[in-house]
Chain A
């Protein structure tokens, strides 16, 4: 990830912006929406190892003086699906891509909740997204740790 951020910096013009948009490390909520009323059904049980690794990578390039953080925004992102099949398809894809544990228990729960509504509700998966804006900083040709050593040396 750090290498990818270095590559991103290389292709950015001086003063260019790096945007890091991704879900926050927060468990997604699943519920049903019917006639503008939301009913919670369950909370997903994701692991966030990749998210933490990404956070560390961003911190690393910031620490190297390659970028400075301009802003950070958090907002809700919903996904709405019209049927259990669509939800299952999304979930299977999500579990595969993000290497999460299977959530069969959640599918059963959604199925039961949908049955109560006569299948007329929409399935809503929601969770916060984080948008970090970093600006490319220009660095001098000093080796890493130079300034700290110089400071220590007085």
Chain B
């Protein structure tokens, strides 16, 4: 079995405790291969996920399963220049990038 991050799901427990994620518009900055992105989509969030590494975004898109396809949008991007209109997200998340 490959590397498992947070098998105890402490991270998810902490995130779940913050808000009701259903239908929330979330911008995830530093999504990598989409490990957290998929989990946020599982909670019902609509996630725009970015990472500056195009290779990681390609991998994230490959790992995207059909049932989350309408809830996740991956794109190459940086935290310094966010290509979205003002006031368009309920939550912005810096995932291991600040």
Contacts and interface: CB of A to CB of B under 8 A. Distances in A.
A17 B21 CA distance: 12
Interface residues of A, number: 37
What DSSP secondary structure best describes chain B's contact surface?
loop
A21 B91 contact: no
Interface in A1-15: 1, 3-5, 7-8, 10-14
A29 to B, nearest CB: 15
B95 interface: yes
B66 interface: no
B65 interface: no
A7 B82 contact: yes
Nearest to B25: A13
B98 A77 contact: no
Contacts of B85: 11
14 contacts: A3-B80, A8-B27, A11-B86, A16-B89, A22-B94, A54-B98, A71-B18, A75-B10, A75-B14, A77-B6, A79-B4, A81-B3, A129-B10, A131-B15
